[in-house]
Amino acid sequence: MRPLRDTAMHLQQIEHRRNEMVSCRAQPCAHDLLYERCSMSTKQFKCLTNLARRSLPLLMALALLPAAAHAGSASTFTLNLNAYVANESDNTVSVINTLNNTVTATVTVGSSPDGIAVSPDGTKVYVANASSNSVSVIDAASNTITATIAVGNTPEGVVVAPNGTTVYVTNSNGNSVSVINAASNAVTATVPVGAGPDSVTITPDGASVYVANTSDNTVSAISTATNVVAATVPVGSGPFGLVADPFKHQVLVANSSSNTVSIIDTDTNTVTQATATGSTPTAVAISPAKEFRFGFVTNFSDNTVSEINPNNGAVLGTVKVGANPFAVAISPVLLGVTANSGDNTVSVINPLNGHVALVTVGNTPVAVATQPLRY
């Protein structure tokens, strides 16, 4: 399996970039239609709507803190509003404050950081270093490395269990997943999976880990109780990124070579639907808010992000971002964050109005993570 920097070059060859970028919000969304239903004057409504849109991230952060802290341990839980970006070519992680879109720290990690994940309590960041066969553990409060864990051959993806006790790392050239005890930072098991495992996700109940096997067009479903593959699910061509739905029993898979998103029913481990996206989809993310459901898919060859309905994968609109968006995350305050590997930037997307802010980071950003919450 190629390192991601080589894969990025390969993906560029899959399809030529479109000459014209798809314009933002090609189709109307529900909040746009509200203008037609409001009884107040258009001027008043637009004024209130614009105020709400500008204030949403801060208001969401303030509303989230008590509920999220109650859900976790009061002594360890931190509402972490940073985005963490793995810069593959300069062996660093950029720390971005998503409320003001500034880089607040740059952390040196292992060689070729290709995957990244934040612990549910917001206190730790795990980085998969593909060329040094290790995982760096970053203390989120101090932005310092507290541990380096040896794993398998070419670690690419990483995810933390909802209870924070276990970390799962895909080893692309080892066709395996390393299972790490988060308390001891020791590898406790190695699980064989399909060919070329890349991205990894875990269900909200922590019962199953799903792995995208890019080289054999399958997804492995691992039982976390036994650390054994319980099912192998055929999906589209070149499955690259995947995410477990925070609120439904399903996993969405971005198939980079077939330009589709597959939806896997996690109760039956079968594909229930496959929906067309943009060109070369490489990653997918779903909003953590139950009452505001949406998803984002990065289209590597289009330089765009598709906004999707996570219930069925249908594309609702398209937003232009930086060059070659490789990864995407959605923050606790519902901002989309894409790692644009082609121009060393991160795009921060406001889903309510489609506004995109551009932040310069390190060289070849290929992964991005935010704190995984549900509310």
pLDDT digits (tens, 9 = 90+) for 340-357: 999 999 999 998 888 899
List pLDDT tens digits, range 32-59.
322 233 333 444 444 444 445 444 555 5
Residue 354: half-sphere exposure toward Cβ, Cα within 13 Å: 19
CB 213 within 8 A of CB 239: yes
Q: Can you give the pTM of this predicted structure?
A: 0.85
The full set of domains in the chain, from first to last, is 81-369 (2.130.10.10)
The answer to whether residue 29 scores a pLDDT higher than 90 is no
Q: Which string of DSSP letters, residue by residue, matches 112-127? A: SEEEEEE-TTSSEEEE
Q: Using an 8 Å Cβ cutoff, are 354 and 320 in contact? A: no
> Cβ(172)–Cβ(187) under 8 Å?
no
The 8 Å CB, 24+ separation contacts for 60-65 are 60/332, 60/333, 60/334, 61/99, 61/332, 61/333, 64/332, 64/333, 64/373, 64/375
Distance CA 321, CA 288 (A): 22
DSSP H or E segment with residue 309: none
**Type of residue at 357:** A
What is residue 103's three-state secondary structure?
A: strand
Predicted pLDDT at 281:
98
Residue 109: name the closest of 121, 97, 125, 96 by CA. 125
217-247: pLDDT as tens digits: 999 999 999 999 999 999 999 999 999 999 9
Per the document, the length of the chain is 375
Q: Which two three-digit tokens encode residue 137?
A: 């553990």
330 vs 333: CA distance, rounded Å: 8
Quick one: angle between helices 42-71 and 30-37, nearest 10? 130
Residue-wise pLDDT tens digits, 146-169: 999 999 999 999 999 999 999 999
The rounded mean pLDDT for the chain is: 86
- Report the alpha-carbon distance of residue 209 to residue 267 in Å, rounded: 13
341 contacts 366 by C-beta, under 8 angstroms: yes
Q: What is the pLDDT of residues 262-301, one digit of tens each?
A: 999 999 999 999 999 999 999 999 999 988 899 999 999 9
